[in-house]
Every structure is written in C-alpha cells, then in structure tokens.
Amino acid sequence: MPELPEVETTRRGIAPHVEGREVVEVIVREPRLRVPVPADLVDRLVGARLGPLGRRAKYLLVPVESDEPGTLLWHLGMSGSLRIARLGELPRKHDHLDLVLGDGGILRYHDPRRFGFVDWLTGSVGVDRRLARLGPEPLSESFDGERLYRLSRGRRLAVKPFVMDSAVVVGVGNIYAAEALFLAGIDPRRSAGRVSLARYHRLAAAVKEVLAAAITQGGTTLRDFVGGTGEPGYFKQRLNVYGRAGEACRRCGDELRLVTLGQRASVFCARCQT
C-alpha cells in the first residue's frame, strides 16, 4: 500500500505538470471505486483551473479554482497511482480516470484493485471526517518525542502499533515504523507506556530521518507502486529490517526475528532493539 513517502513522491512528481493548468476534459472509464466517482465531477472540473497540490497524511489535495471552488480529495488505496500522460497515449487496463489539461497533458489514475478514490470537498478541508481527527504530520514541528511520551502514558499497546496510529502521528506505516524502531534501538514489542522520554525523542528523530530519506529516494519499491512519472521508488535498497526476516542484522550480524503485532508482520533485531 502506498505510504506517506510514496504519496509525497507522487505529489512532487505531478505538481509541475498540473498546477495552474485548465481542465478541458474529464474521462471516467470506471466510476466504481471504493468511493464512487461523484456524478457531477465532470461538470465541476471542465473549465476549472487546478491550484497548488497539497497532501495530508496519505491523501492528495487538489484545489480547484472555479466559480464554485472546491478540492479534490484523492486516495491511492492499495494499488493506485497517478501519472502524467500525453494526448494520444492510449490508456492501459485499469486506467480509470483522466483529467485532460489545456497544455496537452493528462493526469491519469490507475488502480487495479479499485480501493482508492477521488472525492469532491466543498468548504474547509480540515472539517472532513476523514481528515479531522488525524494527528500531526511526522516531518512537522508538531511531532516530537514529547508528544509520543505524553500520549503513551498508561498504554499497554506495543510501541509499534502505537506509533502507527494515525491519531498519534500520520503516515508512519508498517515499513517506516519498523525501520524507525530499528534506528532508535527500540523493541517493537515493548509496551508504549514503558518507553522513556529519552527513547521517544530518539524514535521521533528516527521517524523523521527514515521518512525524509524515503521521500528523497522516491518512496519504497513495492509491487504496485510507481511515482508520478511512472518510475518505481528505490528506498527498498536501504531497508534494514522490513522484509528481511531470517537474514543477518546489518549492524550486529544476528538473525532478524519475525513477530506479529497488531495483525502486521514485524521484523526486528533482538540484540540491537531492547
């Protein structure tokens, strides 16, 4: 599933080709996404201009400037991707939606599993039920060790699913939580309420480091993910623990262990993470 770095990579990849462009045509080939494509989307978008692209957690925000302005809320689901195509470039199977732009570019949505969606928001984006209760962005100043420590007091939940809770901080999915806990030297099985403030400071710093590196390198190469230009991510080449169960720890050489936490597989080093 595309995580925060993949969505941010997509945003940065398509933004120069989309921002400020007029929508001249909307082609909906398959409206039956996880949230059905709004029936009036064509009428709302044709003749409108797209504003600066934003992102909140794993959602892409596309402001629409028109007589009745609004925002496209886009989620890539399990297998979705957005890329820039050109006029005359034939759609592939599972290319469900095109925004044809005035300069000849096409913002094309591809989603084999159809778990993603595009929805229309009117008014303040922050009051939408899907966004209103989200925690801070992990690369913002609002996210730090103090916040993790404060919210974790009295919690018996393991620290890995705790840091993956979007009400605590957004966008720290399974891959990046595993990698950040390894860098911070914290056992993912440890109860969140038994992690000290000093260790939470290390974990917050590790989350920022891991996510920033993943964004710089284009996200993580997963089976279904490509960035806005159609190129895969490359962060997987640097993964320390995720997907490496049974292999040697890059730091100490011990065999990496696999456990299940919160119904998610978690790989860690019992020697380096305590």
Q: Which of 21, 55, 58, 160 is catalytic?
A: 58
Tokens encoding 56: 């909140």
Handedness of CA 210, 212, 129, 147 (dihedral sign): positive
Alpha helices for 67-218 (secondary structure H): 145-152, 159-163, 174-184, 197-216
Is residue 58 among the annotated active site residues?
yes
Is residue 2 among the annotated active site residues?
yes
Cα(123)–Cα(271) distance, rounded to whole angstroms? 51
Q: How far is CA 8 from CA 14, 53, 85, 107, in A?
A: 10, 10, 19, 16
Would you tell me how many other CB atoms lie within 10 Å of the CB of residue 174? 18
Helix (H) / strand (E) element for 74: namely: strand 70-75
Is 155 part of any known ligand binding site?
yes
Is 49 part of any known ligand binding site?
no
Q: Which of 3, 6, 137, 179 is catalytic?
A: 3
Cα(136)–Cα(57) distance, rounded to whole angstroms? 9
Is 75 part of any known ligand binding site?
no
Closest CA to 56 of 140, 181, 152, 165: 140
- List, in order, residues 6 or more apart from 208 with CB less than 8 Å away: 138, 139, 143
Cα(108)–Cα(234) distance, rounded to whole angstroms? 22
Sheet of 23-28: strand order equals: 23-28, 95-101, 105-110, 81-86
Is residue 264 among the annotated active site residues?
yes
Q: Which of 2, 5, 63, 161 is catalytic?
A: 2
Structural Rg of the chain based on CA atoms? 20
Q: Which of 34, 250, 264, 271 is catalytic?
A: 264
Question: Residue type at 117?
Answer: F
What residues act catalytically?
A: 2-3, 58, 264
Please report, in range form, the residues annotated as the binding site.
94, 113, 155
Residue ranges at the known binding site for DNA: 94, 113, 155
